[in-house]
Chains A and B, each alone.
Chain A
Amino acid sequence: MKYILGISAFYHDSAAALIRDGEIISAAQEERFTRKKHDSSYPFNAIEFVLNHSKLTLADVSSIVFYEKPFLKFERLLETYVAFAPKGFKSFSRAMPIWLKEKLFQKKLLFDYLKKHDQNFNDEKKILFSEHHLSHAASAFYPSPFKEAIVLTADGVGEWATTTVAIGKDNKLDIKKELHFPHSLGLLYSAFTYYTGFKVNSGEYKLMGLAPYGKPKYVDIILKYLIDLKDDGTFMLNQEYFDYSTGLTMTNKKFDDLFGAKPRKPNLDKISQFHMDIASSIQNVTEQIMLKLVRSLRKEYGISNLCLAGGVALNCVANGKILDEKIYENIWVQPAAGDAGGALGAALAYWHIDLNNKRQNIKEDNMMGSYLGNEFSQNEIQKIFDDIGADYKIYNDEDLISKTATDLSNGKAVGWFQGRMEFGPRALGNRSILADPRSSEMQKNLNIKIKYRESFRPFAPSVLKEDLVSWFEMNIDSPYMLFVANIKKEKILQLSEDEKKKFGLDLLNIKKSIIPAVTHVDYSARIQTVTEKLNKKYFLLLKKFKEITNCPVLVNTSFNIRGEPIVSSPEDAYRCFMGTELDILVVGNCYIEKINQDTNLINNYKNEFELD
């Protein structure tokens, strides 16, 4: 039996993943343990978790694969600085000391860190390096249910590549072509994330959520001045408008002049219609690029399956458009499409490509619903709550589900913590906040009273797979919440003349469908389909809720507050429960009501976390 440990770290979203003879066993992001969002430090806790989960020490692991190649990255940095010199000296003088002191010697650095898990670990040869985009591609292809597929990866930048096309067949994965830095779709999107006042590398999904409030007024300007987009979807960015190659910001003065405004200062400037139009425009351009790319690849290679990974693959609106166009028969997106998933991809790439091992179980999705993280036994949960002093009741599964479904139908917001934690940025029903989507006030209430975040942010629905086609314009499995589709016309409510005239954030106050809490302003929703096979308890909860309300849909948002990593342990869950206006907390078979808790345990901690 061969165990391979995959690691991603030192940029953002550190993570560890463990595979056994090619089978995915466990994976987790470091942020969940350190409670620091997008934590980029060495994933000590995540590695400890994956080892302990399989009762292993490092000696039992045959290879340790890091998700990218630091030498190649260094080469890119040096060549970029040389190409732009003397511009960029400030950035150069900041970057070089870190590289010369630490990053260039990453093998030694990793070796020293690994020794902290096991003093007896002394085999430096076990440490191997994959390429950043190969790791992404492997994370998308090997767990997919396809024997053969086109694999498209797109993100900010890895070593050199920013967009990669690979063909996967059986256990082979060949990279066919790449777009290189500084021409990057991820960095283009991030530039606009920065410009609209959100945090780069984490606020991109806010920009995506903001887009439907605006009009794509600036598409022509973007296509004329910022990007030279070809018919096959390849592109070049005009570096005169960007600062990220050599500077310390994403965009420059010329960029500001082009749009007639300076970047929004998050703490001073409010989000205006201008920012919504900008968001809408860059989202539109991103969709155009992705559609052109996947269309030309379909034509070129004649393969009907598509796999996606890399940060851009988390743009579920663009994914939904690709689906809508019916260019491919099947699409599979890696749920941990960002750098965290690189840990898993690095391990899978080594097992299949370097060791030339056959793929197991090609016909099925092998991500196990992305439920690859830590879990707690009922005894452990009770002990934790006893130690905290929480007041809880214990119910068997049937009563627990019935009680929770009734609470949800009565408008209560529920913290739902079950089984293994999800790997990737989405909560998929094991570390989730759940609510009734039929309530017109729910979106505002959840945003303001529970998540403490901007009121424009949409919420996603979980729906029973068997009811999907009756409620949404979609007919595929979407267990990872990575596709957006519209609500069925029959569920949409007619707008009054007054309501039709509204625009911008005023659209929030309109009841748009019979499930308004999960209907975005453009009638779209980021859908999670739920099946008994992947998540039985959550499936039964949805079933019960449907039995009570005739609605097979629930609001499912990540169990955290703004800027906080998703809860990992029952302690985190209880803390979040007591720091917000959540009504009910369900952890394992423990049922906790807010009104029965000791008020001394209330802990308002929302200011501990920065806005994205």
Chain B
Amino acid sequence: MASAAQRKPLGLRITIYGFAIIWLIAAAFPFIWTAWGSFKVELDFFSIADWTYALTGERTKAEYGSAFTEAGYRGAWIQEEFWRNVINTFIVCFFVVCTSLTFGTLGGYALSRSGHKYTFWLLITALIFRAMPPITLVSGYLLPFFEWNLWGILPTTIIVLVAINQPFTLWMLHSFFQNIPKELDESAKVDGCTQFQAFRHVIIPVMWPGVITTGLFSFLLAYNDFAVTAMLLSEENRTMIPEIAAYLGTTYTEGNVMFAVAAVVSATVPLFILVMFFQRQIVSGLTAGAVKG
């Protein structure tokens, strides 16, 4: 119901739609282009002769007889055994999300329900921990992990990622819990529940949206991490992202850049699916922190 005053002049409408299209292209085109190019040979994707080769796949046709080839994917997944890294990534992400959420819901609930002064200081400490770049902590991990033979294995990385994610998880769940009326668990306690029973049977059932949203962000933090996983995992236990970084060194020299391109596209697919199904939760999660300030 646009009133006359709100109806936009034609020039403004053109500007708005023009800008929206430009932004849409800027956001989406790099991914579409790389996904398209990953089915070509290197001389098409990085074409010296003519950039249209990347679209038509001239060299790919010459080499494989069709404009598309899965050679890059075969090289990455079979020859370089990228599937191992994929499995490692999903093991790490699964356990990080589960542990983060368990620790985070307990802690966040306590922070939101306790009126004592130390909750403020705990939250501020968490904020400071959140502000520190994770890589600054890595030099503190290496010596003890080497000493106790904990370096290089998945469980160590999982617990480190959980700890690094805790400050963020706490803040997010704390703000979700604040939106749940205190009367809910207080009435449960009046009915004879302990605090934990009130939490378990009354709060958790109404908390699922918040828990799922926080879980998504924990997943993203674990999935996207490079600094910690690259430093703490041995070669055979690497997750996808450090493995891709390792490809960069070798593939440029061996002429296997398309392996890296295929691996990059493969690693983007789960994120694409995630955004497709959980767009609403991601948006609400981003804004939950902001509205609370």
Do A and B come together as binding partners?
Answer: no
